[in-house]
Amino acid sequence: MPASALPHCLVVGTGYTGQRLLARLATDRATGLSRTHGVNVLELDLDTGTPWPTRAHLPGQKTTIVYTVPPAKQAANDRRLERFLGLLPGLPGRFVYLSTSGVYGDCRGELVSETAAPAPATERAQRRCAAEQHLQQWSAAQGVSTIILRVPGIYGPGRLGLERIRRGEPVLHLDEAPPGNRIHVDDLVSCCLAALADDVPAGIYNVGDGDNRSASWFSGEVARQAGLPAPAMITREQAAAQFSPMRLSFLNESRRLDLSKMHTVLQPAIRYPNAADGIAAALTSQL
Residue 12 and residue 97 in contact, taking contact as beta carbons nearer than 8 Å: no
What's the pLDDT at 214? 97
pTM of the model: 0.94
**Is residue 2 packed enough to be buried (19+ CB in 10 Å), middle (13-18) or exposed (0-12)?**
exposed
What's the pLDDT at 285? 85
**Is residue 150 packed enough to be buried (19+ CB in 10 Å), middle (13-18) or exposed (0-12)?**
buried
At residue 235's C-alpha, the angle toward residues 252 and 106, to 5°, is: 10
What's the pLDDT at 56? 75
Dihedral Cα 143, 30, 51, 138, nearest 10 deg: 20
Could you tell me the mean pLDDT of each successive run of 10 residues in the chain, 287 residues long? 67 96 89 87 89 74 90 89 93 96 96 97 94 98 97 97 96 95 98 95 98 97 97 94 88 94 97 98 82
Dihedral angle sign, alpha carbons of residues 104, 106, 108, 109: positive
What's the pLDDT at 61? 58
Dihedral angle sign, alpha carbons of residues 209, 192, 281, 41: negative
Report the top-level CATH class of 3-160+182-210+256-272.
alpha beta
- The secondary structure of the chain, three-state, reads CCHHHCCEEEEECCCHHHHHHHHHCCHHHEEEEECCCECCEEECCCCCCCCCCCCCCCCHHHEEEEECCCCCCCCCCCHHHHHHHHHCCCCCCEEEEEEEHHHHCCCCCCEECCCCCCCCCCHHHHHHHHHHHHHHHHHHHHCCEEEEEEECEEEECCECCHHHHHCCCCEECCCCCCCCCEEEHHHHHHHHHHHCCCCCCCEEEECCCCCCCCHHHHHHHHHHHHCCCCCCEECHHHHHHHCCHHHHHHHCCCCEECCHHHHHHHCCCCCCCCHHHHHHHHHHHHC
Residue 121 and residue 255 in contact, taking contact as beta carbons nearer than 8 Å: no
